[in-house]
């Protein structure tokens, strides 16, 4: 990819994808106590997009103090590299402390109202109970700043609150906003009509006040399209996993998914599919009760072996963290040509906090944040993945360019296709299956699996690229339409009947990329081990 980071106002697809290809999540960077080393890391790796750098879930400090700290970070980062985009968060929560926050005059005016001396009203902004269900407050016995509820963007007070927070971050120098779980707080806004109008107000404010007259909006969504117009500049989503109970330990694999809606981008260009980020998400840290005893199977079914995503990752040993980071980067590259891995530079661990030795004095200490930094006196609690991250980015887009799967994960091609020479209709569904399947998130020997369904690539050929995380001896074959009455395998152009007709596949290194191909009319099956 030829990268460019220059824009003013609207952003081309090339520039947007350039930023997403050099994106990290650095949750709460504005309050980092290792900022000097964080800035060193940003320089060394060439980071250009810093996700979640500022934002609050609870309101535990005065808003003016929060925004002053957020601005101080932006000033430091932009003094080092003025091209960097910093992202702030406007999450799916309103707390009672908003009752003490005065509404600026410009917010009233933006909504066509006469300014008045009042604060925001929590009761008028939150989601109300539905169908006799309990009042949706989490939880009711906490201080005002931690007593929260889901906002309701169908209500004007909530939209005013979102506008207020978004515009203040823009004034602080932030050029991207993560809007949280958009489908939750817009549930009462039928067709997201009011949400669309609000987001346009935020974009209009950015066009007048933002550093480069632009703010990028994203949320956890596969996309929102209203009459073909997309609500977001790009999309974001956590990974989906499958536990590997076939192996000892708490290994898991990522599962092929991640459709991203296409249409007219807010920047003015169109596409069949929008770029999107995939990330290690956090939502609480540890999911299991350490005082209880669980079976291995119970833990396997509990989120990521009993953790949220970043919590599981941080609680692996260093070698496994290195392997899994490389695996995730490769998996994202081949999973979809428009997907980008949001590297975990800094992320909160909550109840998954890790006890580890400090690099400055060797004493054991508790780390409440995952940090990718190499451990040093400047970052004594770093987890040490910055070198493998650099190696991934140095590898660049090689795998995406040469081996990525089809553009649409929910479309496989093959419908109403015929062999040009004979007129024979080609199969619409083609599946590669075998003992390798659990290692890509499918059931073993499932000839009907959608996860290992192959894409039509033209000329009567089908292909699928996978990343196999562990070395070993596997087998594979190809089934058309899921039937086992005609199974194709490498080494013979003639099909056989039954699931035993499979070819061997020996994988010698972790995170090997394998490209399966099937030429239907010739009955030819191959598996290319890319490396």
For 99, other C-beta atoms within 10 Å of its C-beta total 15
**CA nearest 161: which of 206, 97, 210?**
97
Q: Which residue has the tokens 């003025």?
A: 82
Structure pTM?
0.94
Q: Tens of pLDDT along 159-193? A: 999 999 999 999 999 999 999 999 999 999 999 99
Model pLDDT, residue 414: 81
Q: What is the pLDDT of residue 199?
A: 98
Report whether 343 contacts 391 (CB < 8 A). no
Helix, coil or strand: residue 237: strand
Q: Which residue carries 């039928």 as its tokens?
A: 190
The pLDDT of residue 21: 98
Residue ranges for the chain with pLDDT beneath 50: none
Question: How crowded is residue 367: how many other Cβ atoms within 10 Å of its Cβ?
Answer: 17
Tell me what pLDDT residue 408 has. Answer: 67
Rounded to whole angstroms, the Cα distance separating 402 from 386 reads 26
Instruction: Confirm if 66 and 107 have CB atoms less than 8 A apart.
Output: no
C-alpha 410/C-alpha 495 separation (Å) is 28
Amino acid 411: pLDDT: 77
**Cα–Cα nearest to 85, from 206, 202, 183:** 206
Q: Do 238 and 309 form a contact (C-beta atoms < 8 A)?
A: yes
The whole-angstrom separation of Cα 211 and Cα 214 is 7
Residue holding tokens 């985009």?
85
The CA distance from 111 to 122, in Å, is 18
Alpha helices in 105-155 (DSSP H): 105-110, 122-125
Q: What is the pLDDT of residue 470?
A: 97
Q: What is the pLDDT of residues 235-260, one digit of tens each?
A: 999 999 999 998 999 999 999 876 79
Contact 308/352 with Cβ under 8 angstroms? yes
CB atoms under 10 Å from CB of 422, counted, come to: 8
Angle at the Cα of 115 from the Cα atoms of 110 and 118, rounded to 5 degrees:
115
pLDDT of the residue at 135: 72
CA nearest neighbour of 239 among 389, 350, 354, 342 = 342
Q: Which residues contact 132 (CB under 8 A, 6 or more apart)?
A: none
In total, the chain counts a number of residues equal to 531
Q: What is the pLDDT of residue 95?
A: 95
Reduced to 3 states (helix: H, G, I; strand: E, B; else coil), residue 80 is: helix
Q: Tokens 């699996």 label which residue? A: 449
Q: What is the pLDDT of residue 258?
A: 66
CA-derived radius of gyration, the chain:
25
Check residue 21 and report its DSSP letter.
T
The residues, ordered by sequence, that sit 6+ positions from 59 with a Cβ below 8 Å of its Cβ are 95, 97, 98, 144, 145, 146
Q: Say how far apart CA 210 and CA 9 lie, in whole Å.
A: 9
pLDDT value at position 483?
A: 83
């Amino acid at each position: 990819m030829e990268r460019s980071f220059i824009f003013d106002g609207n952003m081309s697809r090339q520039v947007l994808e350039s930023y997403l290809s050099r994106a990290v999540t650095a949750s709460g960077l504005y309050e980092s106590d290792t900022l000097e080393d964080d800035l060193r890391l940003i320089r060394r790796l060439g980071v250009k997009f810093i996700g979640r750098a500022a934002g609050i879930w609870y309101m535990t400090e005065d808003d003016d103090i929060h925004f002053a700290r957020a601005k101080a970070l932006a000033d430091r980062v932009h003094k080092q590299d003025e091209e960097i985009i910093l992202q702030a968060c406007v999450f799916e929560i309103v707390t009672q402390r908003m009752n003490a926050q005065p509404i600026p005059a410009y917010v009233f005016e933006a909504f066509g109202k006469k300014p008045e001396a009042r604060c925001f009203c929590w009761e008028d902004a939150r989601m109300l109970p539905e169908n006799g269900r309990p009042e949706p407050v989490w939880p009711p016995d906490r201080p005002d700043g931690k007593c929260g509820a889901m906002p309701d963007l169908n209500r004007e007070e909530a939209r005013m609150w979102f506008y207020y927070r978004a515009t203040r971050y823009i004034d602080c120098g932030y050029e991207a906003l993560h809007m949280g779980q958009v489908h939750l707080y817009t549930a009462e806004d039928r067709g997201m009509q009011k949400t669309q109008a609000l987001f346009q107000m935020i974009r209009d404010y950015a066009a007048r006040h933002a550093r480069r007259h632009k703010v990028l909006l994203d949320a956890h969504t596969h996309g929102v399209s209203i009459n073909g117009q997309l609500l977001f500049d790009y999309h974001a989503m956590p990974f989906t996993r499958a536990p590997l109970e076939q192996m000892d330990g708490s290994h898991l694999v990522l599962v092929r998914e991640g459709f991203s809606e296409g249409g007219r981008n807010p920047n003015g260009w169109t596409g069949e599919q929008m770029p999107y980020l995939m990330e290690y998400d956090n939502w609480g840290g540890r999911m299991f009760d350490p005082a209880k005893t669980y079976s291995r199977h119970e833990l396997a079914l509990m989120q990521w072996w009993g953790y949220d995503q970043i919590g599981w990752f941080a609680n692996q040993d260093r070698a496994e963290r290195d392997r899994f980071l490389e695996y995730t980067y490769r998996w994202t590259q081949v999973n979809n040509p428009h997907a980008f891995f949001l590297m975990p530079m800094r992320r909160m661990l909550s109840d998954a906090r890790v006890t580890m030795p400090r690099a400055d004095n060797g004493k054991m200490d508790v780390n409440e944040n995952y940090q990718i930094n190499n451990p040093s006196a400047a970052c004594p609690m770093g987890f040490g993945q910055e070198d493998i991250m650099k190696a991934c980015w140095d590898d660049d887009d090689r795998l995406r360019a040469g081996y990525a799967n089809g553009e649409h994960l929910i479309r496989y091609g093959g419908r109403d296709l015929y062999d040009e020479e004979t007129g024979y209709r080609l199969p619409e569904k083609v599946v590669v299956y075998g003992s390798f399947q659990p290692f890509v998130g499918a059931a073993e020997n499932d000839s009907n699996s959608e996860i290992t369904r192959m894409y039509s690539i033209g000329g009567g050929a089908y292909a699928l690229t996978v990343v196999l995380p562990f070395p070993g001896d596997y087998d594979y074959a190809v089934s058309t339409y899921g039937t086992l009455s005609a199974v194709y395998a490498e080494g013979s152009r003639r099909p056989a009947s039954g699931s035993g007709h499979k070819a061997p596949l020996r994988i010698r290194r972790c995170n090997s990329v394998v490209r399966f191909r099937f030429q239907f009319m010739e009955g030819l099956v191959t598996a290319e081990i890319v490396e």
